[in-house]
Structure 1
Amino acid sequence: MQTLIVYPAAAVAEIAGCFAFWAWLRLDKSPLWVLPGLASLALFAWLLTFAEASMAGRAYAAYGGVYIVASLVWLWAVEGAVPDRWDLVGAAACLAGAGIILFGPRGA
């Protein structure tokens, strides 16, 4: 259950950190945007350590689906572009895959 809280929080931290660099390098914002961006990326990495997965690679793989959905929410909420049906279908497929990776039965 903790992972269901950690993944969305990590996604917001990662997207915000990456967007800070995007804003600096692509939107001609001040280089000072990098400072909160770095802090946000460090928070992202720290948050992922709380994922309830036995292996880091599995935690990261499952997180990928949540990241994709969060990126489309960011696209809509921050950048003002509404995701189209293909964005939504692709995100649903990725989220289903993340669920399989995270919650699938494992042998001993």
Structure 2
Amino acid sequence: MKTGVVYVAAAIAEIAGCFAFWGWLRLGKPIWWAFPGLLSLAAFAYLLTLVESDAAGRAYATYGGIYIVASLVWLWIIESSRPDRWDIAGACVCLIGAAIILWGPRG
């Protein structure tokens, strides 16, 4: 349970941080948008260190699937653009891959 919460919190922090830079550089928002973005990205990096995993790369790979789903939720809620069936199918494939990486039996 803790791992799932950490992954979701990390995804929110990363997406918010990246969106702050997107707003500044692509949407013409003021430069001060970058500063909370930097704090959010630092929180994201810290949060991933809380994942219980024997290897950082495996934790990051698993996080990738969670990030993709969170990005589509962001697309829908924040950007008011509803994901289509291809977005949802792709996210499902990614979650299956993340689950295999996270819970696959290891010798």
TM-score by length of 2: 0.99
- Counterpart for residue 8 of structure 2: 8
- Counterpart for residue 93 of structure 1: 93
- Counterpart for residue 25 of structure 1: 25
Gaps of 5+ in 2: none
Q: Find the residue that maps to 1:106 and give its secondary structure.
A: coil
Q: Give the deviation of 1:53 after TM superposition.
A: 1.1
- Counterpart for residue 106 of structure 1: 106
Q: Give the deviation of 1:2 after TM superposition.
A: 1.3
Q: Give the deviation of 1:85 after TM superposition.
A: 0.2
Gaps of 5+ in 1: none
- Counterpart for residue 65 of structure 2: 65
CA distance in 1, matches of 2:68, 2:18: 14
CA offsets per residue over residues 51-94 of structure 1, 9 Å max, x none?
A: 11110000000000000000000000000000000000000000
